């Protein structure tokens, strides 16, 4: 396998050998070979011509349909801003859950996170107007969102079943009536069941990030 083909294989190593990918490989390889011949005709040695041809393409992400060119700095700032806002909202909503020990830990952890992200916010705000075009793999984000949603759903379901077994298992087993001693105990039980629901903020944030992409997409980025 010659040097150019090895180089092309290294560029495509993270992609499966699907028909479209194989076709794209052959097309790019052909273009680079033509470029090498053109450079050799201009007086360059074969080695120098190959190096120049390789410099002309360092990534194939722009040629893959799932990779979208965007104004990266502006997108990162807006995505971070929305994620930061979501965390602040969750922190406020978890204040009533401090009746639980785990609620106290979660609330303080979110508060510390808010302070840390506040410092990062200043960094993103400073760099948001930089002219920088990057690429986002939509398929990867969609896959990540589906995985996060599945894990959140699984976590909520397992937690609910486990909590029900702990709180009401003996009542169900011995067919006894469930007794709740006052509104405070009811509030504690409701809090125990609903606290895991806040994990849904992760797939929701990813969903919002995906919706943002068209607003920062760069049209005709490779013309």
Query: pLDDT in tens for each of the 223 residues of the chain?
Result: 478 888 888 887 777 776 767 777 787 888 888 888 888 888 888 888 888 888 877 777 666 656 777 888 889 889 999 999 999 999 999 999 998 999 999 999 999 999 999 888 888 788 777 777 787 878 888 889 999 999 999 999 999 999 999 988 888 887 788 788 888 888 999 999 999 999 999 999 999 998 888 888 776 554 4
Report which of 92, 138, 143 is spatially closest to residue 114, judged by C-alpha positions: 92
For the chain, how are helix, strand and coil distributed in percent, rounded to 5?
75, 5, 20
Find residue 137's DSSP bridge partners.
Answer: 67
Residue 198, token pair as written in the block: 């806040």
Please tell me the predicted confidence (pLDDT) of residue 36.
85
Residue spans of the domains in the chain: they are 3-63, 67-216
Which residue matches tokens 């080695």? 47
Please tell me the predicted confidence (pLDDT) of residue 52.
85
Which residue matches tokens 């120098």? 48
Find residue 217's DSSP bridge partners.
Answer: 70
């Amino acid at each position: 396998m010659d040097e150019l083909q090895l180089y092309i294989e290294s560029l495509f190593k993270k992609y499966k050998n699907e028909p479209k990918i194989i076709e794209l490989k052959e097309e790019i390889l052909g273009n680079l070979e033509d470029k090498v011949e053109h450079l050799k005709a201009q007086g360059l040695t074969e080695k120098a011509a190959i190096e120049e041809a390789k410099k002309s393409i360092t990534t194939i992400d722009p040629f893959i349909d799932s990779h979208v060119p965007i104004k990266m700095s502006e997108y990162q700032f807006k995505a971070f801003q929305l994620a930061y806002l979501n965390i602040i909202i969750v922190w406020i909503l978890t204040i009533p859950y401090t009746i639980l020990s785990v609620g106290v830990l979660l609330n303080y952890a979110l508060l510390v996170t808010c302070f840390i992200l506040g410092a990062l916010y200043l960094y993103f705000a400073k760099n948001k107007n930089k002219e920088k075009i990057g690429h986002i793999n939509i398929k990867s984000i969609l896959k990540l969102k589906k995985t996060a949603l599945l894990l959140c759903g699984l976590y909520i379901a397992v937690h609910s079943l486990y909590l029900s077994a702990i709180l009401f298992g003996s009542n169900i087993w011995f067919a006894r009536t469930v007794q709740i001693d006052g509104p405070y105990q009811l509030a504690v039980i409701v809090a125990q069941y609903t606290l895991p629901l806040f994990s849904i903020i992760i797939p929701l944030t990813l969903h919002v990030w995906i919706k943002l992409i068209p607003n920062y997409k760069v049209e005709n980025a490779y013309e």
